[in-house]
Amino acid sequence: QVQLVESGGGLVQTGGSLRLSCAASGRTFSGYAMGWFRQAPGKERELVTVFNWSGGNKYYADSVKGRFTISRDNAKNTVYLYLQMNSLKPEDTAVYYCAAAKSGVGTVNPKDYAYWGQGTQVTVSS
């Protein structure tokens, strides 16, 4: 059974930091891109960052460049995906989702991702 389990969300003040973690298990994720999306109330789910397997390059949304960092640890039976979030702003408030793509290259389209975590709430107070 495939599972993506996020943790690390919470309430933080503007300018603070949080580190999100995602543990992905149940199948091999080698060869597949993995990333983080977020969804704020009343808004569409948007791609924050993706770690592409193909070439190992990373994509960041303009709104988080220079503040967020994605990393990935491919352990034997579980892949760990991390999102270090610094200099947080109130507009970063959202539910953050870990996702595994259908191929080695991630896109901004949620439909190109096969597996999703349950989400973790991040709230940034002003």
Written as one letter, the residue type at 10 is: G
CA distances 101 to 10, 36, 67, Å, are 26, 11, 23
Query: pLDDT value at position 54?
Result: 76
51-55, long-range: CB within 8 Å, 24+ apart, which pairs?
Answer: 51/81, 51/106, 52/104, 52/105, 52/106, 53/104, 53/105, 54/103, 54/104, 54/105
For residue 110, the model assigns a pLDDT of 97
Distance CA 104, CA 30 (A): 9
- For each successive 10 residues of the chain (126 residues), what is the average pLDDT? 96 98 94 96 97 90 98 90 98 98 96 97 97
